[in-house]
Amino acid sequence: MQLARVLGNVVSTVKNEGLEGRKLIIIQPLDGELQPAGKPMVAIDSVGAGYKELVFWCRGKEASFPFEGSEVPTDCTIIGIVDSDDHVKSIATGARK
């Protein structure tokens, strides 16, 4: 899993029916210092993530597991919301600015 910041969302009406009723969210993956790391991606929400929230997401086939039973074609799903930016404890040097 990886940390990410919610940047916004995507609206798509013509799509695979497995995506029906799922919120499509744009996320920017982050490193442990909450700095951007990697390319922005579109994730499916499974926990009610909101704009600018610090979340974490799961990749691969496992990303479809929160939606048991339904076949959701996703490889990137938000599965948790970090309580706040301060709830990422790290001993790495170069603490967050």
Partner 1 sequence: MILAKVLGNVVATQKNQRYSGARIMLVQPINPDGTVRGVSMLALDSVDSGEGDVVLVVQEGWAASTASTGEPGAAIDSAIVGVVDFIEED
List contacts with partner 1 (CB under 8 A).
Answer: 1-3, 29, 31-33, 37-38, 46-48, 56, 58-63, 65-66, 77, 79-83, 87-92
Residue from 44, 54, 39, 41 nearest 24 by CA: 44
Residue from 47, 52, 41 nearest 76 by CA: 41
Nearest approach, Cβ of residue 46 and partner 1 (Å): 6
Whichever of 25 and 79 has its CB closer to partner 1, that residue is 79
Whichever of 60 and 73 has its CB closer to partner 1, that residue is 60
Nearest approach, Cβ of residue 3 and partner 1 (Å): 7
Reduced to 3 states (helix: H, G, I; strand: E, B; else coil), residue 31 is coil
Reduced to 3 states (helix: H, G, I; strand: E, B; else coil), residue 92 is coil
- Distance separating alpha carbons of residues 79 and 35, to the nearest angstrom: 20
Nearest approach, Cβ of residue 10 and partner 1 (Å): 20
